[in-house]
Structure 1
Amino acid sequence: MRHFLHLLDLTGEQISELLTEAIRFKAARARRALPKPLADRVIALVFEKPSLRTRVSFESAILQLGGSSLYLAGADVGLGWRESNADIARTLNQFVDAVVLRVFKQSTLDELARWSSIPIVNGLSDLEHPCQALADVMTIVELFGTVAGKTVTFVGDGNNVSRSLAVAVGKLGGTFILSAPAGYGFDAEFTQWYATNIGNPLSEISDPTAAVAHADVIYTDVWTSMGQEAEREKRLKDFTGYQVNESLLAKAPSHTKVLHCLPAHRDEEITDGVMESPASVVFQQAGNRMYAQMAVLAKLVS
Structure 2
Amino acid sequence: MYDGIEYRGFGQSVVEELAKYAGVPVWNGLTTEFHPTQVLADLLTIQEQFGKLKGIKMAYCGDARFNMGNSLMVGCAKMGLDFVACAPKKYFPQTELTETCKALAKQSGGSITQTEDIYAGVADADVIYTDVWVSMGEPAEVWAERIQELTPYQVNAAVMAKAKPGAIFLHCLPSFHDLNTAIGREMGQKFGISAMEVTDDVFESPQSKVFEEAENRMHTIKAVMAATLA
Same fold (TM over 0.5): yes
Indicate yes or no: 2:38 matched with 1:132.
yes
Distance 1:166 1:142 in 2: 20
Indicate yes or no: 2:147 matched with 1:236.
yes
Residue segments in structure 1 that go unaligned for 5+ positions in a row: 1-94
Provide Cα deviations, 1:42-86, integer angstroms capped at 9, x if missing partner.
Answer: xxxxxxxxxxxxxxxxxxxxxxxxxxxxxxxxxxxxxxxxxxxxx
For the aligned residue pairs, the C-alpha RMSD in angstroms reads 1.1
SS at match of 2:17: helix
Aligned twin of 2:128: 218
Residue segments in structure 2 that go unaligned for 5+ positions in a row: 178-194
CA shift, 1:197, in A, is 3.0
Indicate yes or no: 2:165 matched with 1:258.
no
Given candidates 8, 17, 20, the residue that maps to 1:114 is: 20
In our comparison, the structure showing a higher alpha carbon Rg is 1
Return the letter of the residue paired with 1:275: F
TM-score where L is the length of structure 1: 0.67
Distance 2:154 2:135 in 1: 16
Indicate yes or no: 2:209 matched with 1:285.
no
Provide Cα deviations, 1:264-284, integer angstroms capped at 9, x if missing partner.
Answer: 011111000000111100000
Provide Cα deviations, 1:160-183, integer angstroms capped at 9, x if missing partner.
Answer: 112111111221111000001120
Return the letter of the residue paired with 1:112: L
The 5-angstrom pairing of residues 47-66 of structure 1 reads none
Indicate yes or no: 2:98 matched with 1:191.
yes
Aligned twin of 1:275: 203
Aligned twin of 1:9: none
The 5-angstrom pairing of residues 31-50 of structure 1 reads none
Return the letter of the residue paired with 2:201: G
Indicate yes or no: 2:78 matched with 1:143.
no
Return the letter of the residue paired with 1:113: A
Provide Cα deviations, 1:91-147, integer angstroms capped at 9, x if missing partner.
Answer: xxxx11100010111111011111121100000001100000000000000000111
Given candidates 108, 116, 119, the residue that maps to 1:206 is: 116
CA shift, 1:201, in A, is 5.2
TM-score where L is the length of structure 2: 0.88
